[in-house]
Amino acid sequence: MARVVESDTVPGGSDVQQLSLDSIRESLIRQEDTIVFSLIERAKFPLNSPAFEDSSSLTEFFVREIETIQAKVGRYENPEENPFFLDTIPHSVFPTHKYPQVLHPKASSVNINKRLWDVYFKELLPLFVKPGDDGNYASTAASDLACLHALSRRIHYGKFVAEIKFRDSPHDYEPAIRSKDTEALMKLLTFEKVEEMVKKRVEKKAETFGQEVKCVSGGDESEKKKYKVDPYLVSRIYGEWLIPLTKDVEVEYLLRRLD
Ligand SMILES: C=C(O[C@@H]1C=C(C(=O)O)C=C[C@H]1O)C(=O)O
């Protein structure tokens, strides 16, 4: 029978009282490792577009089935997780962990995974994988799902970022929320220096994690380094897609914050 396990653990590994913008940013930094590795893993396979092109594709079928089973073991009890396809989330078959209520109850209605799905398959994937079709669709779909989950978690973490920013200065945010001024909200929550740092750091991570490692010494130093995923592309993926989508989630969340 379902037993509820209580804990004060919240994103960032701290307790509710200690939740801070720094601890939230720490988590985003750790998530970069998962994202960079998932992109490197996906780049082992070519595009394999027949796996995902149709609306009734193998990849969509796979993700729907996996989401159903994951819901049954409680994945979506965690406010950090947002499903791609489940309109009604099946109950967990097992006892579930009781996550502390950090976010506003309307948080679960902020879900931009449909947009992420289109962006990922139409814009991102063709950038960082080789063109072609090797027929290896099941493994490719598993790799795509790992990327989609990592990207979705990062983007929807914007809810926690927005909550902390709101709590830190409610008087700045409240007028803009009441007048539904999305431009003003976007301005309030943007820290350009932090964004620049994120882009630089993920480029460096992609260089470090994706380099060819050789054990023979005395190699030609001038030889051009080869990377599994172009580090500059990873920085672009963050700058042109992931950061803007995270900020869109922040705005969407804030617009509901006073409901
Ligand atoms: C996530 C934050 O909010 C905004 C979005 C950022 C991002 O997605 O990396 C970085 C800085 C901010 O402009 C933050 O302040 O850390």
Does the structure show a pLDDT above 70 at 13?
no
Among 33, 37, 237, residue whose Cα is nearest residue 119: 237
Does the structure show a pLDDT above 70 at 242?
yes
Q: Which atom of ligand 1 is nearest to the CA of 192?
A: 13
What average pLDDT does range 33-58 have in this prediction?
Answer: 96
pLDDT tier at 117 (50, 70, 90 boundaries)? very high
pLDDT tier at 8 (50, 70, 90 boundaries)? very low
Does the structure show a pLDDT above 90 at 9?
no
Does the structure show a pLDDT above 70 at 12?
no
pLDDT of residue 10: 55
**CB of 194 shorter than 6 A to ligand 1:** yes
Query: How far is ligand 1, taken at its centre, from the CA of residue 19, in Å?
Result: 16
Q: Which atom of ligand 1 is nearest to the CA of 191?
A: 13
Q: Is 116 left (phi over 0), alpha (psi -120 to 50) or beta?
A: alpha
183-232 pLDDT, tens digit per residue, is 999 999 999 999 999 999 999 999 999 998 888 776 666 677 899 999 99
Share of the chain above pLDDT 90, in %: 84
Query: How far is ligand 1, taken at its centre, from the CA of residue 252, in Å?
Result: 14
- Cβ 229 vs Cβ 43: under 8 Å: yes
Query: How far is ligand 1, taken at its centre, from the CA of residue 138, in Å?
Result: 34
pLDDT of residue 89: 87
Give the global pTM.
0.93
pLDDT tier at 145 (50, 70, 90 boundaries)? very high
pLDDT of residue 222: 63
**CB of 257 shorter than 6 A to ligand 1:** no
pLDDT tier at 254 (50, 70, 90 boundaries)? very high
Cα distance between residue 22 and residue 55, in whole Å? 40
Please give the CATH topology (third level) of the domain spanning 4-256: Chorismate Mutase, subunit A (1.10.590)
pLDDT tier at 181 (50, 70, 90 boundaries)? very high
pLDDT of residue 2: 40
Shortest-distance Cα residue to atom 13 of ligand 1? 190
Does the structure show a pLDDT above 60 at 127?
yes
**CB of 195 shorter than 6 A to ligand 1:** yes
First-to-last CA distance in the chain?
Answer: 35
**CB of 243 shorter than 6 A to ligand 1:** yes
Among 23, 62, 34, residue whose Cα is nearest residue 150: 34
